[in-house]
């Protein structure tokens, strides 16, 4: 992001034009390092966002309305105390540094003064500092009194500028001329970024590309301090890459820098929110799946221990059949195994403390106990495997979710499972998330976003509608509304591709997709959401 001095100078100029003479109506701090100021100016209300977060630092107008914390943070309370209803005298950059200063004229019952909110937009060193004169009243990020701190920022200390970089100030034309007296060979963009203050790499690149000959030092100076502006946002594959004060090839144009920044940061934050939600859901479901897999391994281990039940029954029967040939006190015996077609012998261990009859009964007792254990484990194994399959379907749906609606619908399905910690704050009631819907050659196609929607989609479909699902992979359920018509191959293929796109089929290649009439799709009683059986189906291959 080119939040360099070149860009911020144009931002300050734009904000000054809009806000000068306005008044502060409201101050909120929706996030730990972000402020929102509602300012009434020029017969309208502006919402100014100032962000000191390392990844989103910036100052711009926005229409976003993030939820505010129930208790205002300390810095927000400080600004309300000192800046409420204050008049904005101007927005400026007093020095050629990445610091935008908002000057306020503040009047109270007993005094009046000028205060300055200094917005240091410096990546991970970004900060918002309120000063009166040259004294710090407070900051969104404060330091300690540690002797190792190079620049103390806390109430009562004198405000000092950040340490200057050892670079040429572009305001000094003679210094620029001296720097470029002997133009460097090789990467001029890198040289410009490394030796001239206040430039991001992308700005340096623009300066070099726009040079068409003549005095390069004059060109650098004129480019940086020109008021020419044509804001844009560059995207790749629908994802925001950067915003610029000057048009770049492929950039989406915007009327103002604030609108470009608001669009850029809005999409970037939306993507981060989406990925954070995805990670939280994946973590919760994966943890539940691991617990079920551990439970299954314990069941399988017990089943393996009981696998010898039939062997114990056979030993008991052989001992019973040969009681006449056995004596008390024997540690083992070798008997003819009449279960063996080859007529071999079977060696059986005995407890010398028990009689032959008691040894036989002991083997029968072990057999009955193991058989009861196996009978009780069978339904538990089936149930656990069903749970794992269900959780795997959730993981597939979460991984293939494309937007916030997909994840929210999945969160609604997962919440009753108790995989999340109970939230203390009441949740707002929201409208029901609709199915994914598509249209192809006059046919309506619907796809479920979660297992609950998959079940609901089947219930609301007509018997002759076409149902699709990937074979041997977890996927959403897709239904083609036929309205009594024959479905062309192109429509079937399109629906199958959507089915594969929202599945856990990985690695490319052809994926088999089964399809049949809805009347052939059945949901077994008490089965998990999204689980169905189907018959009289056909299969097509698609990517």
pLDDT in tens, 307-332: 889 999 999 999 999 998 899 999 99
- Would you state the pLDDT for residue 425? 41
- Would you state the pLDDT for residue 1? 52
- β partners of residue 511: 542
**What percent of the residues of the chain are helix, what percent strand, and what percent coil, each to the nearest 5?**
40, 25, 40
Q: Is residue 334 helix, strand or coil?
A: strand
Tell me which DSSP letter residue 488 carries.
Answer: P
Q: From CA 193, how far away is CA 191, in angstroms rounded?
A: 6
Q: Which residues contact 250 (CB under 8 A, 6 or more apart)?
A: 234, 235
Give CB contacts under 8 A, 24+ apart, made by 292-298.
292/384, 292/387, 292/388, 292/391, 293/388, 295/384, 296/381, 296/384, 296/385, 296/388
Q: From CA 6, how far away is CA 49, in angstroms rounded?
A: 20
Q: Name the residue with tokens 């080119």.
A: 2
- Would you state the pLDDT for residue 426? 40
- Would you state the pLDDT for residue 421? 61
Name the stretches of the chain with pLDDT < 70.
Answer: 1-2, 146-148, 420-431, 507-508
- Would you state the pLDDT for residue 120? 94
480 within 8 A of 443, measured Cβ to Cβ:
yes
521 within 8 A of 534, measured Cβ to Cβ:
yes
- Would you state the pLDDT for residue 409? 85
- Would you state the pLDDT for residue 150? 78
- Would you state the pLDDT for residue 412? 82
Q: From CA 530, how far away is CA 192, in angstroms rounded?
A: 59
Residue positions counted in the chain: 543
Give CB contacts under 8 A, 24+ apart, made by 34-37.
35/75, 35/76, 35/79, 35/128, 35/140, 36/66
116 within 8 A of 92, measured Cβ to Cβ:
no
């Amino acid at each position: 992001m080119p939040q360099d001095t070149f860009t911020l100078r144009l931002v300050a100029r734009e904000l000054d034009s809009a806000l000068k003479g306005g008044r502060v109506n409201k101050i909120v701090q929706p996030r730990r390092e972000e402020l929102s100021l509602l300012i009434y100016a020029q017969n309208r209300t502006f919402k100014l966002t100032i962000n000191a977060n390392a990844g989103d630092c910036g100052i711009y107008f926005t229409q976003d309305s993030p939820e505010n914390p129930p208790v205002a943070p300390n810095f927000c309370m400080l600004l309300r105390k000192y800046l409420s209803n204050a008049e904005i005298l101007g927005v400026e950059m007093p020095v050629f540094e990445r610091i935008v200063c908002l000057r306020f004229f503040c009047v109270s019952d007993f005094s009046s003064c000028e205060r300055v909110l200094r917005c240091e937009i410096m990546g991970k060193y970004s900060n918002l500092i309120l000063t009166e004169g040259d004294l710090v009243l407070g900051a969104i990020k404060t330091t300690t009194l540690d002797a190792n701190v190079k620049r103390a920022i806390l109430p009562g200390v004198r405000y000092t500028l950040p340490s200057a970089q050892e670079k040429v100030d572009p305001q000094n034309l003679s210094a620029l001329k001296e720097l470029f007296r002997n133009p460097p060979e090789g990467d001029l963009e890198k040289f410009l970024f490394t030796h001239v203050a206040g430039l991001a790499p992308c700005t340096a690149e623009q300066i070099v590309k726009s040079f068409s000959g003549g005095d390069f030092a004059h060109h650098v100076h004129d480019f940086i301090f020109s008021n020419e502006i044509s804001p844009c946002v560059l995207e790749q594959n629908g994802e925001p890459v950067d915003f610029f004060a000057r048009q770049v090839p492929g950039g989406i144009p915007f009327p103002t820098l604030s609108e470009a920044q608001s669009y850029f940061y809005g999409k970037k934050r939306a993507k981060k929110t989406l990925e954070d939600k995805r990670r939280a859901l994946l973590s919760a479901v994966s943890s539940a799946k691991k617990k079920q897999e551990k439970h299954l391994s314990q069941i399988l281990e017990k089943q393996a221990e009981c696998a010898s039940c039939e062997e114990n029954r056979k030993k008991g029967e052989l001992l019973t059949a040969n009681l006449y040939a056995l004596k008390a006190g024997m540690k083992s015996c070798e008997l003819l195994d009449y279960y063996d077609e080859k007529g071999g012998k079977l060696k059986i261990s005995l407890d010398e403390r028990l009689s032959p009859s008691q040894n036989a009964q002991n083997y029968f007792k072990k057999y009955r106990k193991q058989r009861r254990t196996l009978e009780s484990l069978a339904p538990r194994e089936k149930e656990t495997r069903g749970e794992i399959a269900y959780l795997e379907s959730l993981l597939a749906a979460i991984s293939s979710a494309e937007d916030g609606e997909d994840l929210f619908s999945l969160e609604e399905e997962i919440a009753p499972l108790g995989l999340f910690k109970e939230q203390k704050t009441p949740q707002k009631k929201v409208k029901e998330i609709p199915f994914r819907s598509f249209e192809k050659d006059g046919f309506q196609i619907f796809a479920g976003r979660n297992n609950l929607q998959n079940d609901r989609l089947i219930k609301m479909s007509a018997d002759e509608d076409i149902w699709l699902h990937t074979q041997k992979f977890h996927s959403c359920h897709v239904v083609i509304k036929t309205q009594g018509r024959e479905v062309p191959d192109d429509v079937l293929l399109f629906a199958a591709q959507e089915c594969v796109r929202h599945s856990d089929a990985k690695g490319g290649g052809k994926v088999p997709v089964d399809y049949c009439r809805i009347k052939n799709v059945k949901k077994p009683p008490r089965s998990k959401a999204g689980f169905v059986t189907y018959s009289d189906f056909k299969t097509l291959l698609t990517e």
